[in-house]
Amino acid sequence: MSVKASKEELQGLTDDWLARDLDAWTRHVLRRHFDPEGGSDYWLKRRAELDFDPLEITRYDELSAFGNFDLAVLRDLDPADFVPRSVPRPLAGRVWESAGTTGKPCRVHYTEAMSVHWAAWRLRGRQMVGFRPGAVWIDACPSGPHLVGEEADQLADIDGSMVYSVDLDPRWIKTLIRGGQLAEMNRYVDHVIEQVTDILESRPVDYLRTTPAVVQALINRRPELTAKLSGVYLGGTQLTPDAWQRFSAAMPDGVIGATYGNTFGNANGLPSPDGGETLPYVPNFPHTTMTVVDRENPDRVVEYGEVGRVRLMVLHEDLFLPNVLERDQAIRFRTSDEWPCDGVANVAPLQISTDKPEGLY
């Protein structure tokens, strides 16, 4: 969906959101979704099953009363059921899907307001890193049903950049990995890298937006082309401190930007406070917040600097998903006074036991 807002309007929106009181925003979102006339069908049906009145909740911390939302619900229900009736019907816009790592993908409808929110925060994230508007990009990211593909259009329309696109199919890669077809997976990676290098060899490019795995493959195969880049913009899979150091060394004058999240909630990378050992992210407040909880007892919030499981709170006016336990672990990060919420750092696949991780974010 094309964002119907100027760059200046998007910049003003994030400043306004950061000034919001989270308790007041919580009350606003609950009133919208549980309004008898204009609320969302899913939550109005659920209200009869709850042992409390959602409209009596006054503070963000009280959202724990809902328990942990099971994303599997989104696999089978109509995405329109989660959008308040106050949004005019028939609904217009895109239905975005999760990666489908653990089974059938989960689906949510993005209203225009949600698309604007996502675009505004992505713009702010790019500006925090220092990516220049009007630059030349290669965008080697998932498209089709994946929300992340929208940023290629935003780079062109909002930042005034020239964008070359290379499609990336994460579901096929995961299918090959699960089937033990590593040779086929490597052939697919080669296929992607060949397309990227073809562009890099034939014209000047400033930035590459893709996954850490693709950047590492490019460094392994064509380090001289990587060194010419002015920066990389990363997401989709785990970015480790070791990888951050390797990418920095491969691009002596380049910048590294990163995002964390999924179809339901996202966070922008913050500058590393210690040369890449800590890689922090701050969520797209107030519509998205992230809490780090004990991996065995999700009712306990861990201390700053402690590792735990990421719990996502989705508080859009048009989508309410409380207490989503992600398949990721992270360090609880204390942000500066610029930010009204906690951050997360060094995100990695969830490891509860000595068995294999739950999955890749």
pLDDT tens digits for 226-263? 999 999 999 988 899 999 999 999 999 899 999 999 99
Under DSSP, is residue 149 helix (H, G, I), strand (E, B) or coil?
A: helix
Beta bridge partners of 255: 231
Under DSSP, is residue 198 helix (H, G, I), strand (E, B) or coil?
A: helix
Whether the pLDDT of residue 356 is over 50: the answer is: no
Read off the pTM: 0.94
More confident residue, 1 or 31: 31
Predicted pLDDT at 4: 77
- The domain spans of the chain are 7-93+106-113
Give CA separation, 206 vs 41, 101, 155, 167, 193, in Å. 46, 32, 13, 19, 17
Whether the pLDDT of residue 353 is over 60: the answer is: no
pLDDT band with cut points at 50, 70 and 90 for residue 28? very high
Residues 6+ apart with CB under 8 A from 123: 7, 10, 11, 14, 154, 158, 159
Nearest C-alpha neighbor of 137 from the set 99, 106, 163, 113: 163
pLDDT band with cut points at 50, 70 and 90 for residue 5? confident
- Contact (CB, 8 A) for 119 and 3: yes
pLDDT tens digits for 269-293? 999 999 999 999 999 999 999 999 9
According to DSSP, residue 64 is labeled G
Alpha helices in the chain (DSSP H): 7-18, 22-33, 41-47, 73-76, 112-129, 150-157, 170-178, 182-202, 212-221, 223-227, 241-250
Predicted pLDDT at 355: 44
Residue 182, Cβ neighbours under 10 Å: how many? 10
pLDDT band with cut points at 50, 70 and 90 for residue 359? very low
Mean of all residue pLDDT scores within the chain: 94
Whole-number Å distance between alpha carbons of 344 and 313: 13
More confident residue, 233 or 356: 233
